[in-house]
Amino acid sequence: MNLAHWIERNAVELPGRPAVAKGNRVVWTHAQLRERVERLASGLLGLGLERGDRVGLAMKNVPEYFECLFAIWHAGLAAVPMNAKLHASEFSYIVENSGCRAVFTTPELTPVIKTVQPACTGHVIDVASPTYADLLSRDRAKITFVEPDELAWLFYTSGTTGRPKGAMLSHRNIVAMTLNYFADFDRVMPEDSILHPAPLSHGSGMWMFPHVCAGAVNVVPESGGFDPAEIFDLISHWQGVSMFAAPTMVRRLTTSGIEADVSNLKLIIYGGAPMYVEDCIAALDRFGPKLAQLYGQGESPMTITHLSREVMADRDHAKWRHRLGSAGVADSCVHVRVVDEDGNELPPGEKGEIVCRGDSVMSGYWNNPEATAKALRDGWLWTGDVGVFDEDGYLTITDRSKDLIISGGTNVYPREVEEVLLQMPQLAEVCVIGRPHPDWGEVVIAYLVKEPGADVSQSEVDAHCLENMARFKRPKAYRFVDALPKSNYGKILKTEVREIEKSQHWED
């Protein structure tokens, strides 16, 4: 099973229907997309790439993203999508760690990738360049038949131990995720559409697959990102509109004050962070029964639990508000349990670690057997999240993976930020936490202890962060303190730091 077979099938069954659009304009039909994918795959093979080689995508949301991704698979290669917001050093690590033989880029990211281009990366291909046009002029290649468990998508997910880890997702994993969408979220039809205002390298890109499989149209906003006015305009233009959004995006749409016809809206699926119950209710009031929630991880993409639109809309149910505050019930493609430290399943009402198994779960981390052994035990993925089931099978997440901060639907791992801060010789100790925020869910806060006699300002620390990490990971405030609370073993007690943050009346 090669995911690119869907492109072939759509070109035969739905040749003239739109496949990819930008804004209100159709860019390619299914027949046109197939031809471009086959020519681009031929071009990649002509560069000397061989089956199983990794190809990176350092791209903002553009129509070319779709043909690049499926051409990679058509040629029997593996894709390494990367968040376009990453810092140069983060791009460098992922490209080198994965051993990318080539990287597709959009113009604004081409200089960054060329600057950090490691020896293993023979080709940096800007999708707006003559080189890309030349690849598209090659003879059409036949599809490469791959085994279901061959690597398709190397999903780099950050971790509390420092460097990102590459979750290995196979063609089988993505097919299972796709079929789960049809079972638990929606039955997509060819006349339907999905908007992509969120990054195609992550959740929104994962939801392209059910729509490609069904022959629907994938729509990239003209701006390439999220603008409420533009989203409402696209909803009025396209039919059967779905979209994946972070809770902050849903809230912005709800509170925008824009009067717009949303009758074409079919479904908004939100994930990446919990949504406040009152915000859920406000969105349901604005859009009607068209919201669903997912809980997943890169290691089990988009598939652990869900709240269906029917459950979210059932206001007459005695437990309606409780269920809106939960992560929902187990997805159809996975078995989900809450267990103790020894892996023993816990009864409803008892907290433990959330584990799952199924065809959507990764095979392991790329070149990281130690991390794989820790995450996958006896076939179960240990998520690191703590939760509790109720007697009806609804899961509530009580604590997130270690000290993960979710800001604007984007994961920020404190360890990564702390390591950048500790590069400054003026700082002796640091502690990064998340603080609740009404719009962003959480914002990043850094507590800092200076070396004795050191002189460093907030602006200097901020400048250092801007030079060494993605902007969305940068702390929104810096607290200089004399000491950090610690245990008897010298471990910084983040729980106490969070209590300090709550108790103080900071002016920021």
Q: Residue 112 belongs to a domain with what CATH number? A: 3.40.50.980
Q: What is the pLDDT of residues 422-449, one digit of tens each?
A: 889 999 899 999 998 888 888 999 999 9
DSSP H helix total and E strand total for the chain: 18, 25
Q: What is the mean pLDDT of the chain?
A: 93
Question: What one-character-per-residue DSSP string does 100-161 give?
Answer: -SEEEE-TTTHHHHHHS--TT--EEEETTSHHHHHHTTSPPPPPPP--TTSEEEEEEEEETT
Residues of the chain with pLDDT > 90: what percent? 80
Q: Name the domain boundary from 146, 179, 207.
A: 146
In a domain, 351, yes or no: no
Give 22's DSSP letter: E
Nearest to 8 by CA among 143, 119, 111: 143
Q: Name the token pair of 299.
A: 């290691």
In a domain, 320, yes or no: no
Domains held by the chain: number: 2
Q: What is the pLDDT of residues 169-224, one digit of tens each?
A: 999 999 999 999 999 999 999 999 999 999 999 999 999 999 999 999 999 999 99
Q: Name the domain boundary from 146, 168, 199.
A: 146
Question: Could you tell me the pTM of the whole model?
Answer: 0.86
Q: Indicate if the pLDDT at residue 87 is higher than 80.
A: yes
Domain holding 67, by residue range, is: 1-9+26-146
In a domain, 276, yes or no: no
In a domain, 18, yes or no: no
In a domain, 169, yes or no: no
Q: What is the pLDDT of residues 357-378, one digit of tens each?
A: 999 999 999 999 999 999 999 9
Q: Name the domain boundary from 93, 113, 146.
A: 146
User: Residue range 323-336: average pLDDT?
Assistant: 96
In a domain, 487, yes or no: yes
Q: Name the token pair of 172.
A: 């089988």
In a domain, 264, yes or no: no
Q: What is the pLDDT of residue 399?
A: 65
Q: What is the pLDDT of residue 161?
A: 46
In a domain, 317, yes or no: no
Nearest to 37 by CA among 15, 65, 1, 78: 65
